[in-house]
Amino acid sequence: MKKMAALQVVMAQPSIAAMASILAPSVVPNYTTSESGNPFVDGWYADPDCAQYNGTYWVYPTSSYDYDQQTYLDAFSSPDLVHWTRHADILTTANFNWATRAVWAPAPIARNGKYYLYFGANDIQETDTIVGGIGVGMSDRPEGPYFDPIGEPLIGAYRNGAQPIDQAVFIDDDGQAYMYYGGHSHANVVKLNEDMISLGILDSSGTQFKEITPTNYVEGPLMFKRNGTYYLMWSEGGWGGPDYAVSYAMSSSPLGPFDRVAKILQQDPAVAVGSGHNGVINVPGTDIWYIVYHRRPLSETEENHRVLAYDRMYFNVDGTIRPVVMLVKDNFEDGNMVGWTDYGGCFAVSNGELTAGPSLGGMALLDTNFTDLVYDADVTISPLSPSADGNAGLVFRVTNVTVGADGYNGYYVGIATAGQVILGKADGGGWTQLGSASMSVTAGTQYHVRVRAMESELLVYVEDMAWPKINVTDASYQGGQDGVRVHGVAASFDNVSIAKP
């Protein structure tokens, strides 16, 4: 009866945050990465910043399009960092009479029962006389709509050479709020008053803006506190290129000084490029931390083709941050195959698995480019095609893909209904078997398959990870995409994980 009453309250006040906090599982999200795949949501987004409101995780990104199209912000919420809900148009220029375009890099925070979203708009330049800069939106709910409580930018001009964009907002344990911001390679810190919509002063002489620019700083600052230490993170390099990256400093004061310690997130030519402009999530009551950032998929060259990703962030005992490894995993628990491209094969996600119909050569690929790799996945031949003659498994170092049988260059490991595991290579139409081993194969049984490829040494393991079932040498293909494939049978795939050896 108590449960019914609680649900009725939710129905009467359909706040998404309240609903998610009631429905949220009590399990602590303790992952190595986004185990259900990066990007963790679909669409072009960048510059994510994060909040945790009443048991729900929120991510607020820039909409990654041309400046004139950047007139709105969307947000994403999740009870578990796996299942995400998109909230469209939570803040739009229609509610800010001074903002017209280039709405960038939102920063969320809650105080006194109100939700605040700070953002940059209009991309003003140092000599401009146009209105623009850092604005603040206010709402009763995390998902907005956000309204303009002051009718003008909160910071509307350059100070200390810092373009008024890319703010991060932080409330210290003593209740003092700070804003860190700045584009064009200069960073300032300001205090925010308790109302969160006006600037405070930093010292008795009335200083409002203090320059804190760390070495190599470009833009996108972020502040968080862990174990009494203040961490300032920021982005380096150009956002439109591959070498955009995240570095950080540690300080005993929220006002610095901020001495650069190290770069901790950067491109990996096997996974993604342009990885930067981050937020951070700390699972409340734990020392579990995630870095949430944007990156550009390997096959994309358009600057705005940026996607949202997160990975685990680990600390050393001295409080320094370990380099972040962008892991490649997908357990399909989020019910989608965002990040995969399919070529025939009727791929879909069902019951937390990637499923394929019985095509003659259907393939689904990740936008990766590993050379040496350890590739793990679970492969199940569908019990719906028990008498079929065919195979299903993993492809790696794949290029030149077309739809159809063997229409690619690369390697394939298949579990075959004929009672064996095979390894071979396709050369854009022809197939050469490189090795095979007999094993008992039953439709409906899940087989853990591992490929270990080191230069020309290709090892295949099934179930028994101590001894390779196939061990051959072939130097035809050095790099390319990784994925899954079916040939003549329906199959399902799960727990994909691809890493460097």
Ligand X SMILES: *[C@@H]1O[C@H](CO)[C@@H](O)[C@H](O)[C@H]1NC(C)=O
- Smaller CB distance to ligand X: residue 126 or 455? 455
Catalytic residue among 123, 219, 333, 353: 219
Decide if 33 contacts 310 (C-beta within 8 A): yes
Residue 64 per-residue DSSP state? -
Measuring CA to CA, which residue among 428, 313, 433, 327 is closest to residue 373?
327
Q: Name residue, tokens 């357990």.
A: 331
Catalytic residue among 47, 74, 367, 406: 47
Task: Report how far residue 234's alpha carbon sits from residue 220's, in angstroms, rounded to the nearest whole number.
Answer: 5
Residues 6+ apart with CB under 8 A from 427: 406, 409, 476
Q: How many beta carbons lie within 10 A of that of residue 191, not counting itself?
A: 19
Task: Report how far residue 387's alpha carbon sits from residue 367's, in angstroms, rounded to the nearest whole number.
Answer: 33
Q: Which helix (H) or strand (E) holds 135?
A: strand 133-139
**How far are the Cα atoms of 27, 189, 480 from residue 213, in angstroms, in the given order?**
39, 9, 40
Measuring CA to CA, which residue among 136, 66, 70, 74 is closest to residue 104?
70
Decide if 247 contacts 263 (C-beta within 8 A): yes
- Smaller CB distance to ligand X: residue 10 or 131? 10
Q: Nearest approach, Cβ of 409 to ligand X (angstroms)? A: 3
Q: For residue 365, which amino acid is it?
A: L
Q: Nearest approach, Cβ of 159 to ligand X (angstroms)? A: 31
Q: Nearest approach, Cβ of 18 to ligand X (angstroms)? A: 6
Task: Report how far residue 382's alpha carbon sits from residue 125's, in angstroms, rounded to the nearest whole number.
Answer: 60
- Smaller CB distance to ligand X: residue 286 or 456? 286
- Smaller CB distance to ligand X: residue 166 or 334? 334
Q: Nearest approach, Cβ of 327 to ligand X (angstroms)? A: 14
Q: Name residue, tokens 């290129």.
A: 241
- Smaller CB distance to ligand X: residue 95 or 399? 399
Catalytic annotation present for 243: no
**Minimal CB distance to ligand X: which residue?**
479
Task: Report how far residue 66's alpha carbon sits from residue 125's, in angstroms, rounded to the nearest whole number.
Answer: 17
Token pair listed for 260 = 């650069």
Q: Nearest approach, Cβ of 45 to ligand X (angstroms)? A: 23
- Smaller CB distance to ligand X: residue 77 or 409? 409
Strand partners of residue 427 = 409
Token pair listed for 30 = 């303790």
Catalytic annotation present for 300: no
Measuring CA to CA, which residue among 356, 104, 140 is closest to residue 239?
104
Q: Supply the DSSP string of 135-197, one letter for each residue.
A: EEEEESSTT---B-SSSS-SB-S-BTTBBS---EEEE-TTS-EEEEE-BTT--EEEEE-TTSS
Q: Which helix (H) or strand (E) holds 2?
A: helix 2-12
Q: How many beta carbons lie within 10 A of that of residue 7, not counting itself?
A: 13
- Smaller CB distance to ligand X: residue 159 or 226? 226
Where does this chain bind ligand X (CB under 6 A)?
18, 28, 30, 53-54, 110, 113, 227, 286-288, 298, 319, 331, 333, 352, 369, 371, 399-400, 409, 428, 459, 468, 471, 477-479, 494-495
Assign residue 23 a region (left: φ > 0; alpha: ψ between -120 and 50; beta: otherwise): alpha
- Smaller CB distance to ligand X: residue 58 or 217? 58
Positions marked catalytic: 47, 219
